[in-house]
Amino acid sequence: KKLSSAQIRQMYLDFFKSKGHDVLKSAPLVPQDDPTLLWINSGVATMKKYFDGSVVPKNHRLTSSQKSIRTNDIENVGHTARHHTLFEMLGNFSVGDYFKKEAITWAWELLTSPDWYGMDPEKLYITVYPKDQDSKKILEKVGVAPTHIFEAEDNFWDIGQGPSGPDSEIFYDRGQEMNNLAEDDPESYPGGENERYLEIWNIVFSEFNHKPDNTYEPLPHKNIDTGMGLERLVSVFQNAKTNFETDLFMPLIQKTADFSNGYQYGQDKATDVSFKVIADHIRAITFAIGDGALPSNDGRGYVIRRLIRRAVMHGRKLGIENAFLYKLVPVVGEIMKSAYPEVLDQADYIGKVVRDEENRFNVTLKDGMELMDNLIQATKQNGQDTIAGKPVFKLYDTYGFPVELTEEYADDNGLKVDHAGFEKEMKAQKDRARAARSDAKSMGVQDALLTDIKTPSEYVGYDTLAAAGVLK
């Protein structure tokens, strides 16, 4: 079937609506009352209150397409076919209502029925937890060929204490020719080290309570929690080698190519990475700012800053010298408007925030890159494999290079970064700032604005540090 991303998203929600689920709106990326979480990273993350029993939902069957951010995947982006910083997770949830039988039967119906997604069952593979023979029996009963069911020891979802249970993962076989494509992780199943078998859907059967004494007791009310990556599903329907060659990303890649110095997508592996990183990051940046976050030096804000700066550096690799990311914001809005019309409404505001941050970084980027290249040269010439903490801190503090970016760049050149040394410099700077503040206090400065600053919101410039005698 040839379906657009908007149709694929809608079909999932319609299917579970027809099975008695309430369709929930995608919750904001900034967690509402959950201080333990930096970003909403899955559908279930928005439903903790239902699963821990603190709120009882009107309907115990829920479904959503939840925007999610995973910072642990930032460095995968551009290098694997399937990872994003921001992606949408399609999910159906049973809060103490239906369990394995319905969850598995419906998943198979949605994927393979010609009335719905109509995928070829030959292309689907499913893993089960070896001790979970119930699920295996149900899978065989709904018609999954035994040769397409694999037992996998690590299919057990457990976060320490609390609800836990076996899970099953559904993989799509993208064909032999994918075997040698990717510089990929060995997580991919069953072949390993390839992107042939694409994990599309994870179904968790939470049936135990993991107790403090590390025993497991059956839960009185068993739950279902599932997650399927929309972008991966779209890549299957649109016959794309990676998630990027789809209607969710190509307009962004096209526009970036227009800004670039004559580069086109699909010409060269290295520049393709840059196109992918930019298309991925601008989506995350746009939605994160739209949901109320702002670039800054810590927490969520630092993630946004890091994404913007990483995207800008990749822009340079495509010959883009001036601020350009902000011009992609309305393109994101256009692509996503059927499910997220608010993005287009906010596009001016989001664009301004992005442009300011780009401009700020562009001022120091050229000099910073020069320093970086010199450092790499010098480190290699000295026969060392690690860049010292002090210059890495200087890159961070004076030129605004997030340390993760420097590390990535060093890694591209076969070098490491002295992380501990960097942290030491960072701490020393904070101590100096604190000392300066308590001085101000002791001098009787009453201005609350001055004494209450918790963290500097901007990196301190070269001049300030030079004046303080920190840099020579």
- Alpha helices, H only, 46-124: 48-51, 100-112
- Enumerate residues 6+ apart whose C-beta is below 8 A from 331: 251, 252, 255
The label of the residue with tokens 């976050």 reads 293
Q: What residue is closest to ligand ATP based on CB?
A: 229
Q: ω before 295 within 30° of 0 (cis)?
A: no
CB of 161 to ligand ATP, least distance (A): 19
In what helix (H) or strand (E) does residue 185 lie, and over which residues does it extend?
A: none
> CA torsion sign, 326 to 78 to 371 to 263?
negative
Cα dihedral 434/440/443/444 (nearest 10): -110
Q: What residue is closest to Mg ion based on CB?
A: 202
What is the total count of residues that contact ligand ATP (CB under 6 A)? Answer: 17
Q: Annotate each residue in 81-120 with x if it binds ligand ATP (CB under 6 A) or - if it does not, as one string.
A: -xxx--x-x-------------------------------
What is the rounded distance in angstroms from the CA atom of residue 86 to the CA atom of residue 229? 10
182 binds ligand ATP (CB under 6 A): no
Using CB distances below 5 to 8 A depending on partner kind, what does residue 310 bind out of Mg ion, ligand ATP, none? none
CB of 472 to Mg ion, least distance (A): 44
Using CB distances below 5 to 8 A depending on partner kind, what does residue 315 bind out of Mg ion, ligand ATP, none? none
Indicate the residue among 92 and 202 with the shorter CB distance to Mg ion.
202
CB of 74 to Mg ion, least distance (A): 12
Using CB distances below 5 to 8 A depending on partner kind, what does residue 298 bind out of ligand ATP, Mg ion, none? none
In what helix (H) or strand (E) does residue 399 lie, and over which residues does it extend?
A: helix 389-399
Whether the Cβ atoms of residue 117 and residue 110 lie closer than 8 Å to each other: yes
CB of 229 to Mg ion, least distance (A): 9
Please, what is the Cα angle at 469 between 468 and 472, to 5 degrees?
135
CB of 276 to ligand ATP, least distance (A): 12
Indicate the residue among 204 and 277 with the shorter CB distance to Mg ion.
204
What is the rounded distance in angstroms from the CA atom of residue 311 to the CA atom of residue 259? 14
- Enumerate residues 6+ apart whose C-beta is below 8 A from 72: none
Count CB neighbours of 50 within 10 A: 18
In what helix (H) or strand (E) does residue 342 lie, and over which residues does it extend?
A: helix 342-381
Indicate the residue among 199 and 231 with the shorter CB distance to Mg ion.
199
Beta strands in 120-192 (DSSP E): 124-128, 149-151, 156-157, 162-173
Q: Annotate each residue in 165-204 with x if it binds Mg ion (CB under 5 A) or - if it does not, as one string.
A: ----------------------------------x--x--
CB of 69 to ligand ATP, least distance (A): 9
Indicate the residue among 165 and 368 with the shorter CB distance to Mg ion.
165
Indicate the residue among 226 and 364 with the shorter CB distance to ligand ATP.
226
Residue 295: left (phi > 0), alpha (psi -120 to 50), or beta? beta
Coil, helix or strand for 208?
strand
Stretch touching ligand ATP by CB under 6 A, among 25-33, 98-106, 195-203, 442-450: 195-203
Residue 273 per-residue DSSP state: H
Exactly one of 14, 22, 73, 102 binds ligand ATP (CB under 6 A); which one? 73
Cα dihedral 117/119/124/126 (nearest 10): 30
174 binds ligand ATP (CB under 6 A): no
226 binds Mg ion (CB under 5 A): no
CB of 82 to ligand ATP, least distance (A): 6
201 binds ligand ATP (CB under 6 A): yes
- List the structure tokens of 146: 């035994």
CB of 44 to Mg ion, least distance (A): 12
187 binds ligand ATP (CB under 6 A): yes
Phi then psi dihedrals of residue 213, to 5 deg? -85, 15
Of 213-242, which residues contact ligand ATP (CB under 6 A)? 227-229, 231-232
Using CB distances below 5 to 8 A depending on partner kind, what does residue 163 bind out of Mg ion, ligand ATP, none? none
Exactly one of 195, 199, 207, 225 binds ligand ATP (CB under 6 A); which one? 199
Using CB distances below 5 to 8 A depending on partner kind, what does residue 306 bind out of ligand ATP, Mg ion, none? none
Indicate the residue among 171 and 399 with the shorter CB distance to ligand ATP.
171
Pairing label, strands 156-157, 61-69: unpaired
Measured CA to CA in angstroms, residue 3 lies from 125, 168, 244, 248, 469 at distances of 22, 26, 16, 12, 62
Of 53-72, which residues contact ligand ATP (CB under 6 A)? 70
Residues that bind ligand ATP (CB under 6 A): 70, 73, 82-84, 87, 89, 187, 199-202, 227-229, 231-232
Residues that bind Mg ion (CB under 5 A): 199, 202
